[in-house]
Amino acid sequence: MNKTKNKYHPPSRIMGSLAIILLNSLLLFHSVYSSHAISQPSDHGKQNREIVVISKDSTKHFKDSMSPVGYDGSISATQPFPEWLADFTYLKEWPGIDPPYVPLSFIDMNQIPNSVPIHEMGACPGDRTGCSFDCHKCVAQDDIYTCPKLSQSFDDGPSPVTTRLLDNLQHPTTFFTLGINVVKYPEIYKQIQAKGHLIGSHTWGHKFLPSLTNEQIIAEIEWSIWAMNATGNHIPKWFRPPYGGIDNRVRHILRLFGLQAVLWDYDTYDWQLLNNQRTEQQIFDEARSWLASSGGQKRGMILEHDAHDRTIDVALELSNNIIGHDQLTAAQCVNGVEYIKTFGVDNEEYAAAAAVNVNENFIYVS
Ligand SMILES: [Zn+2]
């Protein structure tokens, strides 16, 4: 990292934003973990189920989904804060649950659509032109929401239980990680990587993006990318929005980073195991029905969580005894690239430069 410090300098235009960054960082130190981010899943689920409308035949497989776990606020980051990021952000450590917005030279805030109404989770606007997935199950052309083979995917990690999944899973799969967990469990992240699985971003801190300002959305995305870059030496291509919260404003920002959304058409609701709203048997029965649906084509993208022992047990039963090992990663589902860029450990300077210019040379798959 030392060579990076001497050779890499942030773009001069970024320097003008120093005051904003310093202000944000000061605010950061005074921030507290918000109840919004750590609300109990039962609250989220109840709120969403009451309001989401599913009406069209084409959306019959979609269901609303809440996820169980965010992060453990009592665990500190162990991934070192890289010097290139310190040079760029003027911070010294990874942020907490509310990451500061760091302006990026390739983002023109004036181009971000202002016609999409900001909405809280479950408080859906009547206007559907924003193409909300969480409200109306609307998908854009470049959203991935299914797969030619019925395939599992896992959100909210890495977590301590992820290792048991890694030890027993016999096929490549996709993990959508939270930046705040990546820097808490960097060794588990590297195990995911070493096993050949695909890793995508699930934001920094699991907020419901359509309720946030543009700056807050950018912060959630950029910090997740930096966490993955610092830990895995790569820049993600694939992104899963927490709670399925995505609309055309969020998509516009994602595209600036070269990211594409990976949604789902089958939901295990595995987090409901944790508050006894659901049983393992229910999940297994539904998975068998998914295999039989659509004339037995065995296609689809399944949402799960590597977050708790019981969700890991379900994942392994699904993989080993119900769905089988003939599965695809999200990238394989669309014959897409795995990452926008990957770097060797001897090329950290380039990685650092790319980390703040991540929209270079990205490829869209649709
Ligand atoms: Zn999640």
pLDDT at 44: 32
Give me the residues near ligand 1 (ion), CB cutoff below 5 Å.
Answer: 67, 155-156, 242
Asked whether residue 44 is domain-assigned, the answer is yes
Identify the H or E element spanning 260.
strand 260-261
Active site residue ranges: 155, 305
Quick one: how far is CA 53 from the chain centroid?
24
Asked whether residue 116 is domain-assigned, the answer is no
| Dist. CA 237 → ligand 1 center (Å) | 17
Using CA atoms, how far residue 109 sits from 12, 18, 59, 65, 252, in Å, is 18, 17, 33, 30, 11
| Dist. CA 17 → ligand 1 center (Å) | 31
One DSSP character per residue, 205-242 reads S---GGGS-HHHHHHHHHHHHHHHHHHHSEEE-EE--G
pLDDT at 72: 73
Asked whether residue 249 is domain-assigned, the answer is yes
**Contact 180/98 with Cβ under 8 angstroms?**
no
Instruction: Give this prediction's pTM.
Output: 0.81
Backbone phi, psi, residue 339, to 5°: -140, 155
Q: Can you count the helices (H) and strands (E) in the chain?
A: 15, 9
| Dist. CA 199 → ligand 1 center (Å) | 14
Longest dimension (CA), the chain: 60
CATH assignment of the domain containing 60: 3.20.20.370
Asked whether residue 363 is domain-assigned, the answer is no
Asked whether residue 111 is domain-assigned, the answer is no
| Dist. CA 107 → ligand 1 center (Å) | 26
pLDDT means over runs of 10, the chain (366 residues): 37 38 32 25 29 28 42 83 93 95 94 95 93 96 96 97 97 97 97 97 97 98 97 96 97 96 97 94 97 88 96 98 97 96 80 73 65
User: Which DSSP category does 163 fall into?
Assistant: H
Asked whether residue 366 is domain-assigned, the answer is no
**Contact 120/237 with Cβ under 8 angstroms?**
no
Rounded Cα distance, 252 and 116, in Å: 11
| Dist. CA 68 → ligand 1 center (Å) | 7
Asked whether residue 360 is domain-assigned, the answer is no
| Dist. CA 172 → ligand 1 center (Å) | 20
Identify the H or E element spanning 280.
helix 280-296
Structural domain range at position 238: 2-94+131-355
Backbone phi, psi, residue 291, to 5°: -65, -35
User: Which DSSP category does 359 fall into?
Assistant: T
Reading the block at residue 331, the tokens are 């990238």
Asked whether residue 207 is domain-assigned, the answer is yes
User: Which DSSP category does 56 fall into?
Assistant: S
Rounded Cα distance, 227 and 118, in Å: 27
Runs of H (alpha helix) within 105-243:
133-136, 162-168, 179-182, 186-194, 214-232
Q: How many domains does the chain have?
A: 1
pLDDT at 59: 33
